[in-house]
Each structure stands twice: as C-alpha cells, then as structure tokens.
Amino acid sequence: MSVKYTYQCYAIGDHALTFSFGDRIDTTVNEYILQLFHLYRNFPWPGIKDCIPAYTTITFVYDALYFLNRKIDPIDTIQALVDELLIPNTVTHKKKTNNLVRIPVCYATCCAPDLASLATIKQITASELIQLHSSVTYRVFMNGFLPGFAYMGKVDEKINAPRLTSPRQKVPAGSVGIAGDQTGIYPMESPGGWQLIGRTPLSLFNTNAVKPCLLEPGDQVQFYPISWNEFQNWSAQ
C-alpha cells in the first residue's frame, strides 16, 4: 500500500478521539484502518481504554485523567502516536491474513419475512436473490450495534435494500438482513430495521466461548443455503 492517507481528527467528547480517513465504504480504506488497529493492539498505549475501528474511522477511547495527571495533552499525544503508525512501511508489511468463515443460512419463508417482497421489488425470483446473496465473499468491515454484530459488504447492487421505514420490535437471533449494500446477522433477539432474508442456526455471540464473537473486523464471510429441516436439526444439536 503506497497511498499516503490523510485524516481528519475530531473529539468524541472529553474522552475519545476519532481519526477519519474518508466518508464512503471502501475496502482499501477499511483495510488500512484495520492495519492501524492491529498495530495498536500489538503495542497498546498506556491511557487508552479502547480502540474502535469502523468503516473509515478509528477511535481511541482514553482515560483523560491518565494524561491530565501527567500534565500532557491527550489529543496531541494520541495524534502523535497515530502519526507514528502512519509512517509508510510500518503499516505496509503487516497485512493480517483474513479469517474465512462459512455460515449456513436458511432462506425459507419462515426465516425470511422480507425475502419475497424484496425479490418482487427487485424484479427477480427468490432463488435468484438467494443465489446473489450467497455467491459473494463478504468482508466484515466493522463490529457494532450489538455485541458480535458484524457489518458486512458489499451486497450485489441487484439486491441492495433500504431499511424498513418502521423497524421491527423483535428480530430473532441469527436473522440475516440487508440494509443498503450491507448485510448482517443479528447475534441476539433485538429490535431492528434491516430487511430479513434468512436465518442462521449458528450462535454469533457466546459469552462462554474463548472467542465470544464469531465474526470480527477483517473476517471474510461466505453464506451457504440450508433447508428448514437442516436449520432445525442444527438448532437441536
């Protein structure tokens, strides 16, 4: 990666700082963000409580008193640390191999309340929609919204879909949805406004697991169709 990225830096209140590298979903920019994230994780800085990568931003949550008690400016300090990470070559050679996760999805009507209407609007058949959704390898751009919720993209433009005008009060855990050119899976039952086109029997968030979230930023994801029967048997396992 030889591009030199420039950022805009702004405060998220008195305890976090965001570095923004753009305002559009872009794999190259996100790749860059995640490299910064991993560089930071390998050598965490004192006074930083959290580092949150998103589509085009990386945010550092800091302990303001850690810096203020030492009479150093948190903003200047964190900015200098980020600038250091941005020196070309430190970033270039540390590309992390992305984990590939295959996820079974039941696209049957009982699991996919919005599939038929979406197919109609898009003037394709339900099976074409399923084919389009499950033939792409998606990238997890970021986690957010709920523990283990992964924002994945991009979906084929033939099936991209606006959010529902009035969100559902209850979306079942494992529901697979589309919003714009993103796709995602609800890790737990929650309210939600994404159009639901399927459901996975896999558990996306498990507090007893060593790795509590099945999907993490930077992962590659492939969906493959399973029948309602397989879904039920999966759940019973």
Partner 1 sequence: MSIRVIKKGILDTIQDEGRYGYQHLGIHPSGVMDTVAMRMANTLIGNPIQEPVLEMHFPAPSLLFEEDTLIAISGADFDARLNRDLPILINRCIAIKAGTQLSFQQQIRGARAYIAVRGGVQSTLWLNSAATPVGFTSIGTQLQNEMILPFKNNDFQVAENKIFSWTALSPVNYQNTIIRYTAGHEISRLNDAMQTLVDNSTFILDKSSNRMGYRLVGPSIIPNTHTEILSTAVSRGTIQLLPSGQLIILMADHQTTGGYPRIGHIITADFPKLAQRNPGEGFQFKQVSLQEAHKALQAQELHLKQLETGCKLRMGDV
Residues that bind partner 1 (CB under 8 A): 10-16, 18, 20, 23-25, 37, 49-57, 59, 61, 64-65, 68-69, 75, 142-151, 188, 207-208, 212-213, 216-217
Question: Nearer Cβ to partner 1, position 196 or 213?
Answer: 213
Q: Which of 131, 150, 145, 125 is nearest to 219 (CA)?
A: 150
Question: Nearer Cβ to partner 1, position 50 or 83?
Answer: 50
Minimum Å gap between C-beta 103 and partner 1 is 17
**Which tokens go with 194?**
């994404």
22 touches 56 (CB < 8 A)? yes
Question: Nearer Cβ to partner 1, position 23 or 84?
Answer: 23
CA separation for the pair 209, 215 (Å, rounded): 13
- Which secondary structure element, helix H or strand E, spans residue 92, and what is its range? none
Minimum Å gap between C-beta 124 and partner 1 is 27
Question: Nearer Cβ to partner 1, position 10 or 224?
Answer: 10
Minimum Å gap between C-beta 138 and partner 1 is 16
Cβ partners under 8 Å of residue 192, min gap 6 = 167, 168, 171, 175, 177, 186
